[in-house]
Structure formats: C-alpha cells, structure tokens
Amino acid sequence: MGRTDVNKKKESLKNAFKNMKKKELQSTVDKPVSRYFEKQWKNFNIEIEKSKSDMKEAFVEHEPSPEPEEETMYTRRKARKFL
C-alpha cells in the first residue's frame, strides 16, 4: 500500500464524514419545533438585544495576582513579624 493509497483513503473518509454531518444537520432542520421553544428563543433574543450594552460592562479585565514568595525560613519569619 503506497502513500497515495493512504491519502486517497483519508480523503474518502473525510468526505464521508462531511456528507454524514450534512445529512444530520438537514434532518434536524426539517423537524418542527414546538411553540414553547420558539417563544423561549424569541424571548431570549429580545433579552440579549436589550442587554448588549450591559454585556460590555459585565466583562472586566482580570489582573493576575502576584505570585507568592517561595517559602523559606526568612519569609516565615517575616510573616510572623506582621502577626
């Protein structure tokens, strides 16, 4: 079995997988959605539209805390001094 045969086999497997995904997606699109989920989705989208400005405020840059010093006899003594 040469390298070209292996590459051809890989390509055919990739194509088969892509076709399988497309079929699965198509079958899920064709299924009807209940009104309950439609209303939930609609309400969710409305709330997201309202809160877009709030989302910018929700994310805050996090500054990493300084790493603690290595524990040695001197750092333990220094810590006891401040107790």
pTM confidence score = 0.32
Mean pLDDT score of the chain: 78
Contacts of 69 by beta carbon, 8 Å cutoff, 6+ apart: 75
pLDDT tens digits along 7-41: 777 788 777 767 766 666 566 556 777 889 999 98
Dihedral (C-alpha) 65, 67, 68, 70: value to the nearest 10 degrees?
Answer: 180
- Among candidate residues 46, 39, 37, 16, the one with its CA nearest the CA of residue 28: 37
Helix runs in 1-83, H state only:
3-30, 35-50, 52-58, 73-81
